[in-house]
A and B are shown apart, each in its own frame.
Chain A
């Protein structure tokens, strides 16, 4: 099982690096939106109710990371669709590799790509003057990102990514969101994931939001992997 997961993950990673046109948007578009938000809306940190932060970039980094990871889901979905279209998926299913390894291999590869995405955005933030305040808790922020990335397996619709993201506190403090976005944000696991990542970046070592983020990410990851396995079983039944 482990060997199959490793091999399939490696294949997914090699494929990803050979198709840079699918990888580039994962960082290019979130970077552009990060630049536009920070460049245009930096003064919003002076609004009453906005938490004290070193700069708007510190606040927005978690949003960019969340967005990038969700777009990674679109990319992973595309890769699976290409495997199905090209007939590789059918050959994979006919092989003696465990079925769960097909999903877990993809998840492991997604985790590795997510680590690169998170590192890129943290480095970008540091270069442009963000202060990463968390120290050791920053690692937990990365852990949240890696777990959340598992949602990629079932993500697939580009505009939906933004709808889900807008209905969360990823971009702006929950207290300053307009209605009905604030109501959705309160129940959106992405809010907790983004806030959990943001805590060590922008505010410092407070454990509660980070643990909330880890829990939300674990729940999303569990649900996503479960749904993927169910979808795989359904596809095999139909075949």
Chain B
């Protein structure tokens, strides 16, 4: 067991090393969510004058969206990196090692979880500088857990695609999945303002619960009623996409 944990830690360290050694590759994923949130707030800020926003300004309302977008981008980047490893043959050598495949998967996904904290922390810092109220330690801790969970689910989804297509050219598909999942929710407007079709999608989209879970501390208090559906939704997503990724790993080379 200790050996497996060491292997997971080594793979996570490898993933994190890329941030330091190829910062140019990681930078867009860190900056993009913040640019999106600040940009949308500057453009659509006046939308928060509508009563349904409950007096919360647009930047505060969309802060959680940026955090989850960062998690989605990080997950997609994990898939793209795996596709690159497959193209360059490194992944084949990894498969030849005596490490069980679920352990390899755990290392890759674990690095995505940690990396997702970087864009979230950057966004939170910038948002606080722009006047967003400090949501409290409990809310930040919950947001971190949910962000890591969504990053794990997005990474598993991207890994499934990377194993299926075995090329970095599948990158748009990996990015589009998390992009759609995060934005087809109550991302930019409360539920009652969404048009019929978008409201219907948001209702069945589990990421809506995750988003509301992250958002609750920014727009009000952290409550159990909002927390448990968020935790359940993220656990379900990780389980579903994790199972698909494990199956994909198991099929490699057969």
**Chain A positions near chain B (C-beta within 8 angstroms):** 21, 24-25, 28-29, 32-33, 35-44, 46-47, 49, 158-159, 162-163, 165-167, 171-172, 176-178, 180-181
| Complex alpha-carbon distance, A25 and B42, angstroms | 25
User: Smallest distance from the beta carbon of B254 to chain A beta carbons, Å?
Assistant: 27
Residues of B within 8 A of A21 (CB): 169-172
Report if B197 contacts A (CB, 8 A). Answer: yes
| Chain B CB within 10 A, most for which of A47, A158, A167, A178 | A178
Which of B42, B183, B195 lies in contact with A38, CB distance below 8 A? B195
Write the chain A residue with the least CB distance to B179.
A32
A166 touches B42 (CB 8 A): yes
Report if B95 contacts A (CB, 8 A). Answer: no
User: Smallest distance from the beta carbon of B3 to chain A beta carbons, Å?
Assistant: 40
Report if B7 contacts A (CB, 8 A). Answer: no
Which of A33, A38, A47, A158 lies in contact with B47, CB distance below 8 A? A47
Which of B41, B170, B198 lies in contact with A40, CB distance below 8 A? B198
Which of A28, A44, A178 lies in contact with B41, CB distance below 8 A? A178
A32 touches B46 (CB 8 A): no
Q: With A28-B172, A32-B180 as given contacts, are A40 and B187 in contact (CB-CB < 8 Å)?
A: yes
With A32-B179, A40-B188, A166-B40 already in contact, 17 other A-B pairs whose C-beta atoms are closer than 8 Å: A25-B172, A28-B172, A28-B176, A29-B176, A32-B176, A36-B198, A40-B193, A40-B198, A41-B47, A41-B188, A42-B195, A43-B189, A44-B46, A47-B49, A163-B39, A165-B39, A166-B35
| Complex alpha-carbon distance, A178 and B46, angstroms | 7
A36 touches B195 (CB 8 A): no
| Complex alpha-carbon distance, A79 and B233, angstroms | 40
User: 16 A-B contacts, Cβ less than 8 Å apart?
Assistant: A21-B170, A25-B172, A32-B176, A36-B187, A37-B188, A39-B195, A40-B193, A44-B47, A47-B47, A47-B49, A158-B32, A165-B39, A166-B42, A171-B44, A177-B43, A178-B43
Write the chain A residue with the least CB distance to B36.
A162
B42 touches A177 (CB 8 A): yes
What total count of A-B pairs have CB within 8 Å?
95
Write the chain B residue with the least CB distance to A25.
B172
User: Smallest distance from the beta carbon of A77 to chain B beta carbons, Å?
Assistant: 15
Residues of A within 8 A of B183 (CB): 32-33, 36
Which of B36, B41, B46, B188 lies in contact with A176, CB distance below 8 A? B46
| Complex alpha-carbon distance, A39 and B189, angstroms | 9
A29 touches B179 (CB 8 A): yes
Q: With A21-B169, A41-B189 as given contacts, are A159 and B195 in contact (CB-CB < 8 Å)?
A: no
Q: With A39-B194, A39-B197 as given contacts, are A178 and B45 in contact (CB-CB < 8 Å)?
A: yes
| Complex alpha-carbon distance, A79 and B253, angstroms | 34
Report if B184 contacts A (CB, 8 A). Answer: yes
B36 touches A40 (CB 8 A): no
Residues of A within 8 A of B36 (CB): 162
| Complex alpha-carbon distance, A32 and B179, angstroms | 9
